[in-house]
Structure 1
Amino acid sequence: MHRIGFLLSDGFQIMALAPQSVFEYANMTAGEAFYTLENFSVAGGEVRSSLGVAVGTRSLRGKIDVDTWIVAGVNDPLSSPPPEKILAFLRKGGSRARRIAGICTGAFVLAEAGLLAERRATTHWAYGREMQKRFPDIRVEEDRIYIVDGPVWTSAGMTAGLDLALAMVEKDLGAEIARSVAHKLVMHQRRAGGQSQHSEMLDLAPKSDRIQNALNYARQNLSRSLTVEELAETVHLSPRQFSRVFTLETGQSPAKAIEKLRLEAARLMIEQSRHPLDVIARETGFRDRRHLREAFVRGFGLPPQAVRRDARMD
């Protein structure tokens, strides 16, 4: 039996409770109640989320036997500092647990408690730089889905908590059960911890269906050369008109946007597969592995081998 305690405070973000479904379905898949879950707060009783939903909790007083603590985040950790009693409890009780996790801005609570000192950690991308500024002794990696550093786990915002929970299930019960849970929850896959929090397709955010369709076509045909002429033809525009509209809507030239899509696709293949770099380069439209490496260093500040190594460590 593995006991999981969710630590909540007033104003917690309701998505922090979503990972409970991962553990619930892990029990169903395993055919036994491997996990037991309970919500905790300083005083116990009802705690309200930022949306106003009331959740019953058990107080932190008395004897508490928990194997994994999961600390919920809030919408704005800068204006909602964690209660001192929670920090004191984590400093004392956190070391007795097998592991402790901060979901989204819950990482700020772990940081305030001193549990992230000299460790790698992540949080919601919007607060990564502020975390690094406030806690210079933490190695903040603001563009990661989740990070595991010893017994301390941290995740990015919102849905990344599901990936963190699935990773815990995989560690506890094996990859096959984790895959089955992801399938039951209609999750496309368990994203690797080293995967970027960002999607280039979302960042480009074109305003018209025409440019969106051109980007969809590009993403589905990254192994091709993808000239402006070819992309323009797919959406029935002249090359000159296509380039003008594309740049106006996305803020980037077609060539720059396509390179970012290639980099994103290559990064996913590097993190999630064992394909040789020559194969990945060919599948994502780079001339060769040298061209791939140059693009990675320019785009991420790291060579492909380092990205693969970091993904294996998570």
Structure 2
Amino acid sequence: MAVNENTKLSVAFVLAPNFTMVAFSAFVDTLRLAADEGDRSRPIQCAWTVVSHDMRSIRASCGIQIMPTAELPEPHGFDYIVVIGGLLDGPKIAPALGAYLKRAASLHVPLVGLCTGSFILARLGLMQQYRTCVSWFHSNQFIGEFPELEAASDELFVVDRDRLTCAGGTSVVHLAAFLVERHCNKAQAAKALRILIETMPLSANTPQPQPLFTEETDNVRVRKAMLLIERNLGTPLSVDFIAQHVHVSSRHLERLFLAEIGMSPSTFAMKLRLSNAYNLLATTKNSIIDIAMQCGFQSNSHFARSFRGAHGMTPSQVREPFRSICSN
């Protein structure tokens, strides 16, 4: 898409094979709604281009095909190059696209990784010495593949100098609005969000959605603590460690949990571990002792006592109705 003299924000998209459609469409629509008056969609204040090395259509993970609009134009013609990732076990991006992104980095063009786009940037060696935002859903995979990188999975997006990374999903809208406000103005960003039925912009450090099996709370520190507990079910964390992570004292964290969800961090963690154990018993073929270890119990007897106290039955009794299903 051509850039005119009134354009204040210009973005190029690099789409991975089997890319995530919602990340692409949410980002583009935020730009589209901010780019013009009303809902006319003219690329006046914002412009966007889908770049390609071969100009062939690019398939999204949902099966829809997108046609590129430019064949690897000079990176410095854009304010940002946005990489939208695909399925982690799917095809990799073409070497020519990887080289293009490395060239953009060498020219100090800011790179944006949406959803699993952060994996693409990391695999190209372009996230060294940068903080990376990763979805809580892919956090363990990212840490396992890139243990040397600093990953954050309790924030919507991370802006670290000329690298911007985002958890994906609807948080993409808020990163795009952040860039619209930065380059255009606050009113254009707010307009786009309102039309997309978002009542207000969310900041980068807004926690990602709460994990499964938790009570609801709007308290930022409690939500971040919940996410941290969920990501470490197999290696239970001390209250002191959790409090340090969310920047409060242990005593204050205890008070926050009691006020917000009516239980201590330790009680919440145990409830979550036992809920996860129940789910694993019902849906996997893993042995009971393996599930106990996976949920952070050091002995089968301790697991059995705790489980029966929470669920009113033993792990074996839970497993029995599902035995025929799991054996199929």
Q: Distance in 1 between matches of 2:131 and 2:162?
A: 11
Residues 118-143 of structure 1 show CA distances to partners (whole Å, capped at 9, x for unaligned) of: 11111222222221222233210122
> Out of 280, 287, 303, which is 2:247 matched to?
303
Q: Is the alpha carbon distance of 1:186 and 1:304 closer, same or farther for their aligned partners in structure 2, counting shifts above 3 Å?
A: farther
Work out the CA distance in 2 between the residues paired with 1:185 and 1:300.
37
Q: Is the 8 A contact 2:221 2:246 kept in 1?
A: no
Task: After superposition, give the CA deviation of every residue in 1:74-108 in whole Å (9 maximum; x if it has no partner).
Answer: 1x224443332222111112333542101000111
Matched with 1:25 is 33
1:150 to 120, 145, 161: 161
Amino acid of the structure 2 residue aligned with 1:9: A
Change (3 A) 1:61 1:177: closer
Work out whether residues 144 and 197 of structure 1, in 8 Å CA contact, stay in contact via their aligned partners in 2. yes
Aligned residues of 1:9 and 1:41 also touching (Cα < 8 A): no
1:116 Cα deviation after fit: 0.8
Mapped partners of 1:142, 1:119: distance in 2: 14
SS at match of 1:109: helix
TM-score norm. by structure 2 comes to 0.61
Q: Is contact 1:125-1:157 (8 Å) kept?
A: no
CA distance in 1, matches of 2:118, 2:169: 13
For 1:27, the aligned partner's letter is A
Instruction: Quote the Cα distance in structure 1 between the aligned partners of 2:240 and 2:152.
Output: 17
1:265 aligns to 2:276 (yes or no): no
Q: TM-score, normalised by structure 1?
A: 0.63
CA distance in 2, matches of 1:89, 1:162: 25
For residues 201-236 of structure 1, what are the alpha-carbon distances to aligned partners after superposition, in whole Å with 9 as ceiling and x for unaligned? xx23xxxxxxxxxxxxxxxxxxxxxxxxxxxxxxxx
CA distance in 1, matches of 2:222, 2:186: 19
Are 1:104 and 2:57 matched, yes or no?
A: no
Unaligned runs of 5+ in 1: 205-249, 251-256, 272-294, 306-314
Letter in 2 for 1:265: D
Which SS does the other structure have where 2:218 is aligned? Answer: helix
Q: Residue in 1 aligned with 2:132? A: 121
Q: Paired residue for 1:15, among 15, 18, 22?
A: 22
* Structure 1 residue 299, shift from structure 2 partner: 6.2
Q: Per the alignment, do residues 126 and 80 of structure 1 end up closer, same or farther by CA in structure 2, a change over 3 Å counting?
A: farther
- Measure how far apart 1:265 and its partner are: 1.6
* Preserved CA contact (<8 Å) 2:30 2:177: yes
Q: Is residue 66–residue 97 contact of structure 1 (8 Å, CA) maintained in 2? A: no
In the alignment, residue 175 of structure 2 is paired with which amino acid?
L
Find out whether 1:70 has 2:82 as its counterpart: yes
